[in-house]
Each structure stands twice: as C-alpha cells, then as structure tokens.
Amino acid sequence: MELLNIKSLSKVYGKKVLFNALNNISFTVSDGEFVGIMGPSGSGKTTLLNMISTIDRPTAGDVLIKGKSTLSLKGEDLSLFRRRELGFVFQDFNLLDTLTMGENIVLPLTLDSVPVKEQDTRLKKVAEILKIEKLLDKRTFEVSGGEAQRTAIARALIHNPSLLLADEPTGNLDSKASKTVMELFVEINKSEKVTTVMVTHDPAAASYCDRILFIKDGTIYNEIYNGGRRHQFYQEIIDVLSMLGGDN
C-alpha cells in the first residue's frame, strides 16, 4: 500500500533571480518501507524533506500522505496532522534542557492533552523498545549524544506516527553511536512497521535503508535497492556518490 505519494513536485525560490530547488520530482513510498535520500549539498534533498514534512509548501505538484493532500490543510488542521501523523528526528536532537528525558519524550502527548495514565503507558513501551528505561529521569547534560538521539527517536514515535522523517540523524554522532542508532531505526521499521524517510550524507547510515533515492540539481538522478547484503549495498552507494560528484 502507498503511504507517501510525491506528485510532480517543484520548488522555486526567489523573485528576480529564480532558483529551482526541486524540479518535477515524483516517487512513492510504500507502507513500512525505509527510504534514504542522498545527494550533493544544494541538490534539494532537505528542501524535499521540508515539503514532505509540511514545513514548506511546493511551487507546483502535491504531497499525499495516506491518500490525503497535505496542501489542502491549513491552520489548526495542519498542526494536528503534523502532530499526529508525522514523527521528526533531527541532527541536533532538539531536546529541551529544562525537561527530563521522559518529559521530553511525552511532550507531543502533553501538547495533545493525552491523559497522564496513557502517557505513562506509551512512555514505558517506547522506552523498552529503544532500551532507554534508565535515562528517563536524567537531563540532557547527563546523557551522551547517542542516548540523546535515542530519546529524540522515542519522542518521534510516542504518538504512533504514520511517517517518520529523519534529517541527518547520525550527523552529530561517532561511528559506534551511529551504528546503534541506525540499527534501532531498522528494528523500529521492521517490528513496529514505521514507514521512514531519511535524508543523509553518510553512506554507512544509508546502507541500512531498503532503497536510496539520489537527487542532483533538484531531480532524481538514480535509485538503488538493498538486496539484503549491507556491505554490498554500501559499496553500490559509494559508487553512485562518486558518479554524482560534489560535496555529499
């Protein structure tokens, strides 16, 4: 089943001098799929993620999530859709220093006025999945980068989103923490059936995906699939990036 449908998406910035950030991009993401987006700096990959996440609006085309056009949503309806259907994981974690890890995780539920008992039940479940039970009472300055990112992933999952969007989730992590976080992404994707779209410049992180879309100059340049052997897929990713050129 199709969860995400990108239809002829274009984004033009500027008035006098125009810049085509995206140029007539179309693709679909199936329910339960884990898709990576790669490309050189300025290729349009972050712009694309911003369109999918409803943070920005396209100049032309449409974004459909579960068959619903996000462009038809405005105001409170858009805020509710974003809060209930989408989960976000960022490079910088975006955790609040004034809250404990547990309070950070349940924040989306608090904003949605979910009863405290239900919050506690969901927190316990997601903490077990991500193996962060011992972190819940700690503050941001008491945890490592990898632990902070696991907490951020828990916050993104606490409301059972239809689509998880990740922007360079391993960008601030060392190789060991990156491996742990990516293994968690795969585990969540497979066991919880969470459809995931991830922008990354890191071939090692990308090798955990089911499929990679490569973007160059605002268009899809190439697409490769993971055949089940991650080391081989990693090499295929490296080969395409070398043909792409530029700073990835």
Q: Name the token pair of 77.
A: 């309806």
Is residue 239 assigned to a domain?
A: yes
Is residue 171 assigned to a domain?
A: yes
pLDDT value at residue 191: 87
CATH number at residue 97: 3.40.50.300
pLDDT range class, residue 94, cuts 50, 70, 90? confident
Is residue 58 assigned to a domain?
A: no
Is residue 182 assigned to a domain?
A: yes
Is residue 15 assigned to a domain?
A: no
**Is pLDDT above 60 for 248?**
no
Is residue 69 assigned to a domain?
A: no
Helix (H) or strand (E) holding 223, with range, is strand 219-225
Q: Contact 63/82 with Cβ under 8 angstroms?
A: no
Number of residues that this document lists for the chain: 248
pLDDT range class, residue 79, cuts 50, 70, 90? confident
Alpha helices, H only, 137-229: 145-157, 175-191, 203-206
Is this prediction's pTM over 0.95? no
Per-residue pLDDT of 60-75, as tens digits, reads 999 999 999 999 998 8
pLDDT range class, residue 91, cuts 50, 70, 90? confident
Q: Provide the domain count of the chain.
A: 1
What is the strand order of the sheet 86-90 is part of? Answer: 86-90, 163-167, 195-199, 34-38, 211-216, 219-225
Is residue 50 assigned to a domain?
A: no
**Is pLDDT above 70 for 247?**
no
Per-residue pLDDT of 117-154, as tens digits, reads 999 999 999 999 888 999 999 999 999 999 999 999 99
Question: Cα–Cα–Cα angle for 87, 92, 98, nearest 5°?
Answer: 85
Residue range 41-56: mean pLDDT, rounded: 91
Question: 205: domain range?
Answer: 29-44+82-244
pLDDT range class, residue 49, cuts 50, 70, 90? very high
Q: In whole angstroms, what is the distance from residue 100 CA to residue 86 CA? A: 23
Is residue 240 assigned to a domain?
A: yes
